[in-house]
Amino acid sequence: AGTEEAFLEASLANARESSKEEGIARFDVVQQIDDPTKFVLVEVYKNGDAPAAHKETAHYLKWRETVADMMAEPRSALKFKNHFPAVSGGWDYPEGAKLEANWTLKKLRVLCLSSYFFFGGGAYEIFEKATTSHLGKQRIS
């Protein structure tokens, strides 16, 4: 605790540069409302080579070094395959898009975020364990 603003500043600087990379469709920085010490970086890549290329950029290396001592626990990554939207136009930033608002981030509120997943063969328990360990939440019903 206490490094949230510095982590956010470093992550936003990384995201701004990352969003310009050819291989990145989206790079979102989100902060948990009820626990502002928790962040999720959502990175959507256009091809299989893009993640490795991203990790070689100066802005990523600077971010990694800057935030290394801010981590309460080691970074972790979950990888997903996108099924919808199935075209890049559903993810890509439009040319010249304004990616930041004029108001301060503290005034921004998330009104609703809903996700529905269908699992079989024990996958739900794996998903539940992974998500609740990151969110610090109890079982989702």
pLDDT digits (tens, 9 = 90+) for 82-123: 777 776 666 777 777 777 765 444 444 444 343 444 444 555
Supply the DSSP symbol for 34.
S
Residues with Cβ within 8 Å of residue 67, at least 6 apart in sequence = 7, 10, 11
Query: What is the residue whose two structure tokens read 């291989």?
Result: 23
Report field, pTM of the whole predicted structure over 0.85: no
The mean of the pLDDT values for the chain is 77
Q: What is the length of the chain? A: 141
Q: Is the peptide bond before 51 cis (omega within 30 degrees of 0)?
A: no
pLDDT category of residue 77 using cuts at 50, 70 and 90: confident
